[in-house]
Structure 1
Amino acid sequence: MVPHLTTALSGPLVLLEKRILQAMPDIEHWFRTQWQEVSAPFYASVDLRNAGFKLAPVDTNLFPGGFNNLNPEFISLAVQAAQVAVEKICPEARRLLLIPENHTRNTYYLRNVLELCNILKAAGMEVRVGSLSPEVTEITRLETHDGLPLILEPLVREKNRLKLNAVSFEGIDYAAFDSCAILLNNDLSGGIPDTLQGLEQYLIPPLHAGWATRRKSQHFSAYNTVVDRFSTLLDIDPWLLNPYFETASGIDFHARVGEDLLAEKVESILKKTQAKYDEYGITQQPFAIVKADAGTYGMGIMSVKSADEVRDLNRKARNKMSVIKEGMAVSEVIIQEGVYTFETINEAVAEPVVYMMDHFVIGGFYRVHTGRGIDENLNAPGMHFEPLAFEKPCTLPDCAGAPDAPPNRFYAYGVVARLALLAAGLELQENDPLNA
C-alpha cells in the first residue's frame, strides 16, 4: 500500500526529490565517507513528515520498538545488517543478551522483542531475553498478541558481568548464559539502574544513548551540522530537510513557571517559519510542536499555532505536559517547527517511519491515525501501522521514473532517515563520557 500525497507535487519537494535522484552517486559516496568518521548506532528508527514542500525528521529513536511492523519480505535485509553491526562490536560474538522494556503487558511490544530475537538468531546469534524489572524473579513465559511465546528470565549480576542462571522450565533445560554483548531495547527513561553500571560486556547502544542523559535538542543540534554539510553537497536550502528548533528549561507546567519564556520561544519559531513560508509561497499556517526534551512514547507533546496557546493551558493540558514515561517530571522542553504531513491512507493521516541497523535502511512502515490532523502528533493512542507500506526496499530508486514515484519517494525517505542516523552517531560521539 502506497499512501496518497494529498498536496500539489509541483513545489520545492519535487525539486528536492529530483535533485536527490540526480545526485544519487554523489550522495552514496558522501555517506560512505561520513561513516568512515562516525560510527553508526546499532539500530534506530526515524519518524519523518512529508509536507509536500518539506521533508524532515521529527524524532529519532535509538531503542526502536516496532520490528514487528516491518515488511516480512525484507527481513533478510535486517539479518544482513545485523551481521555487519555485530561484527563491528564483537566479531567473535555467539551469544547476545537482550534486555527489553520493563512494561511486559504490551503484547505488541513483546512481538517486537520476539521479531528482534528472530533477526539476531538468523544472523548467527544465540539470543536470550533478560529483564531488569524487579518483578521478574523467575523464568516466565509471556505471550504476544498473536499467541507466540516469549521466554523472559531474571538477570543475575556476577562482579562486572550480567548473566542468566541455568534453569529447567516447562520440561526444557536452559543452560547458564554469559554473553559477549548486551543489546538494550530499553530506553532507560527511568534512569540508569546500578545493574548496568560498570559492566565489562559491550552495551549496545551505550548508556549515554538512553533518555536518562540524552536530549532531543542534542540530536537536532547534530542534525543541523549534518544537514548543512549535505545541503552544500546538493546545493539546496537546508530548511527543506530541517525543522527549526529552540529549547526552554526551568519549566513547571503545574506551577505555571516559565510560561512567558515558552511563549517567546514559540513566537520565535513561528516567525522564522512564516518567513520561509513567505519565501516559498506556502499558504499553510505555521505551527510549532512543544515536547519534552527527553523521552518517547508520544508523551508530553502539544501542537500550537500561537504563543498565546502556551500561556493559558487548562489543567488537563498542564497535566498532560508535566509528566512523561516512567512518571518523570518535565522541566526541559524542545520547541520544534511543526512539519505538516500530507500523506494519507484511506483518508487517514499517515507518516513514514524508517528502520535502520548499522548504516543500512532495512525497511519501514506508516504510522496512521484516524483521529488526528495533519498538524498533530500521530504517536498517540488510537494509532495503527501499515506494515506493507514499503513495497520495495528504500535503497533502490527508479532513476527513469517520476520524482514522486513510490521507489523514488521511499529512496528520498531513506536518504533523510540516514541523515538523522548520521546525526545520532555524531551525537553519541560528542556526548560519550569517555571523550569528555
Structure 2
Amino acid sequence: MVPHLITALTGPINELEQRILESMPAIERWFRLEWMEHTPPFYSSVDLRNAGFKLAPVDTNLFPGGFNNLTPAMLPLAVQAAMAAIEKICPEAKNLLLVPENRARTNSFYLSNIATLVRVFSQAGLNVRLGTLDQAVTEPTQLDLPDGSHLTLEPLLRNRGRLGLKDFDPCTILVNNDLSAGIPRVLEHLHEQYLLPPLHAGWTLRRKHQHFRAYEEVAKKFSKLMGMDPWLINPGFTHLDGLDLADGSSMDALQTQADAMLTKVRRKYKEYGIQEKPFVAIKPDAGTGGKSIVMVRDAKDLPEKIAALGPDAQAALSEVIVQEGVPTYERVHDAMAEPVVYMMDRYVVGGFYRVHADRGSDESLKAPGSSFVPLAFAESSQLPRFGEKPGVSAPNRFYMYGVIARLAMLAASYELEATDPDAEVYE
C-alpha cells in the first residue's frame, strides 16, 4: 500500500525516487563504507515527512518505543539485526537486561512494545529479563499484557561496578528509557558491561541541534554522491538557548530567527516553483515526546501561539531549534500520515504510518488521537522493483524512505561520536 499523495507537486520526489533506485548499488556501497568508519546506534526510529517536493527526517529517536506497532513480518528481520548487533558488541553474550521506562506498569501500549523487544532478543538467543528504575518496585512484579501473556518487572541491583538482578548478571544492558528525567546514578560508571545506548544519547545531555547539524553534513555528502540539491532531503534549522519567553527580548530574538528561516524557505520555494506558504516549527532542543511544538507561517503569530501553551510547556522552550517546516501530503484513509522507519544496528527492520484524522499538513501528528498503520519495509517479496513508475510501487517508495532514514541514523552515529564525553580529542 502506497498512501495517496494529495499534491500535484510530486515531480521532485518522483525524480528523487527514480534516481535513488537507479543508484542503488552506489548507495549501498556508500553506506557500507560509512559503517566501516562509524558505529550505528543500537536501535533507532526516524519520523519522515513527504511533501511531494521534499522528503526529510524531522525527528530521530535513539530510545524507540512502538515496536509493537510494526507488522509481525518484521520479526525475522529484527531478530537477524539483533544478532548482528549483539555479536559485534559482546559475541559471548548470554544475558540481556532490558531497562524500560517507568510507565511500563501503567501503560499497556508501551508494555506491548517491551514485550516485542523481549521476543526479538529472546529469539536472538539471549536470556532477557526486565529491571526497572522505578523505586516503587521492590520485588518481582507480574504485569499482564492485553493478549493474556505477562512480563515480570524486577528491582535493579547494583553490586560495585556491575548492574543486574537477583541471580542475574548480564553482559549487556539495553535501556528503553530516554533519560529525559535525568541520568540515574545506578547506570553510571559500570565496569565490564555494555550499556546501550550510551548515557549521552539520553535527553538529559542530547540536543536536537547537534543531531541536525550532523544530518546536514551527511545530507551534503549523500547529495554530492547523487548529484542533487541537499535541500530536497534536509530541513534547515537554527538554534537558540538561554531563552525566557516571558521576557520581550527573548521573544524578539525568537521571532527574528523564525522570520529569517521563513525567508530562506521562500527563496527555495521560488526556485522550485512551489506555490506554498512556508512554515517553521519551534521545538524544544531536548526531546519532549512531541510536546511544546509550535508551528507558525508568520513570526508575528509566535507570542499568541506560545502564550496558548501554558507555563509548563513554555518552560520547555528555553532551548529551541527553529526548523524549516516540512508539510506532509500523504494520506491513509483520508487522514494525514507520516512514515516512521525503525532500525536496529544498520538495518531497516520495519515501520508504520502515523496517522491523524484531525491534524493538517503543517501540524505535528505526534499527538493524542493518532493511530498506526503497520508496514513491512523489507521482505523477500518486497525488494525494490526496477522499471516501475515512481510513486506507484510500495517496495520502491519504502526503499526510498529506508535510505533517508538510514541517513538520519548515520547522522546519529556522527552525533554520538562528536558528543561522547569519554572520546579522546586530538588537535
Superposition TM-score tier, normalisation by shorter sequence:
over 0.9
What is the letter of the counterpart of residue 219 of structure 1?
A: H
| Counterpart in the other structure of 1:155 | 156
1:71-124: CA deviation from partner (whole Å, max 9, x where unpaired): 101210000000000111111101100000111311100000010010000000
Which structure 2 residues correspond to residues 390-409 of structure 1 after superposition, within 5 A? 390=377, 392=379, 396-404=383-391, 405-409=393-397
CA distance in 1, matches of 2:381, 2:249: 45
Does residue 1:250 correspond to 2:237, yes or no? no
Q: Aligned partners of 1:117 and 1:179: how far apart in 2?
A: 14
Equivalent in the alignment of 1:412: 400
Structure 2 residues not aligned, in runs of 5+: none
Q: Tell whether the 8 Å contact from 2:132 to 2:153 is kept in structure 1 after alignment.
A: yes
Deviations 1:184-231 (A, max 9, x none): 000100110111110111100000100010001000000011010000
The within-5 A match list for 1:236-385 is 236-254=228-246, 258-313=250-305, 315-319=307-311, 321-323=313-315, 329-385=316-372
Give the 3-state SS of the residue equivalent to 1:183 in structure 2: strand
Q: Are the equivalent residues in 2 in contact too, given 1:398–1:408 (CA < 8 A)? A: yes
Q: CA deviation at 1:391?
A: 7.9
Instruction: From 182, 188, 193, give the equivalent of 2:179.
Output: 188
Deviation readout 1:402-431 (Å, 9 max, x if unpaired): 121211111100000000000001111111
1:421 to 398, 409, 415: 409
Distance, in Å, in 2 between the alignment partners of 1:395 and 1:6 is 24
Cα offset, 1:255, TM superposition = 5.2
**Unmatched segments (≥5 aa) in structure 1:** 166-175, 324-328
TM-score by length of 2: 0.95
- Quick one: structure 1 residues 93 and 388, their matched pair in 2 at CA, closer, same or farther if it must change by over 3 Å? same
- Counterparts in 2 of 1:297 and 1:395: CA distance versus 1, 3 Å: farther
CA RMSD after TM alignment: 1.6
Q: Per-residue deviation at 1:145?
A: 3.6
SS of residue in 1 equivalent to 2:269 = helix
Question: Bigger shift: 117-126 or 1-10?
Answer: 1-10
Aligned length: 421
Alpha-carbon offset, residue 338 of structure 1 = 0.5
1:37-48 to 2 correspondences below 5 Å? 37-48=37-48
Cα offset, 1:159, TM superposition: 0.2
Q: 1:6 to 1:386 in 2, by over 3 A?
A: same
CA contact (8 A) 1:362 1:393 kept: no
The TM-score, its normalising length taken from structure 1, stands at 0.93
- In structure 2, C-alpha distance between the alignment counterparts of 1:264 and 1:133, rounded to whole Å: 43
From the superposition, tell whether residues 177 and 138 of structure 1 become closer, same or farther in structure 2 (CA, over 3 Å). same
CA distance in 2, matches of 1:42, 1:393: 24
CA distance in 2, matches of 1:381, 1:392: 31
- Say which SS state the counterpart of residue 139 (structure 2) adopts: coil
Partner secondary structure for residue 243 of structure 1: coil
Distance 1:203 1:257, change over 3 A: farther
1:111 is matched with 112
Per-residue CA deviations over 1:226-248 (Å, capped at 9, x if unaligned) read: 01000000000000000000011
Could you tell me whether the CA contact under 8 Å between 2:70 and 2:350 is conserved in 1? yes
- 2-side partners of 1:311 and 1:354: how far apart? 34
Query: Does the CA contact (< 8 Å) of 1:251 and 1:331 recur in 2?
Result: yes
Does the alignment pair 1:203 with 2:195?
Answer: yes
Are the aligned partners of 2:348 and 2:377 in contact in 1 as well (CA < 8 Å)?
A: no
**2: CA distance, partners of 1:227 / 1:245:** 14
Which segment drifts farther, 4-13 or 416-425? 4-13
Residue of structure 2 equivalent to 1:326: none
Shift of 1:31: 0.3
Report the residue type matching 1:91 in the other structure: P
Structure 2: distance between partners of 1:395 and 1:288: 36
CA 1:406/1:395 → structure 2, altered by over 3 Å: closer, same or farther? closer
The 8 Å contact of residues 71 and 390 in structure 1, kept in 2 or not, is answered as: no
**Larger mean Cα displacement after TM superposition, 65-74 or 144-153:** 144-153
Distance in 2 between residues matched to 1:302 and 1:93, nearest whole Å: 45
Q: Does 1:58 align with 2:49?
A: no
Partner of residue 23, structure 1 = 23
Structure-2 change in CA distance of 1:260 and 1:295 (3 Å): same
2-side partners of 1:228 and 1:354: how far apart? 21
Q: 2:128 corresponds to which residue?
A: 127
**Residue 234 of structure 1 pairs with residue 234 of structure 2:** no
1:342/1:62 Cα in 2 relative to 1: closer, same or farther (>3 Å)? same
Distance 1:229 1:293 in 2: 25
CA deviation map 1:164-197 (0-9, x unaligned): 11xxxxxxxxxx1000010000010011011111
Closer/same/farther in 2, CA of residues 9 and 338 from structure 1, 3 Å limit: closer
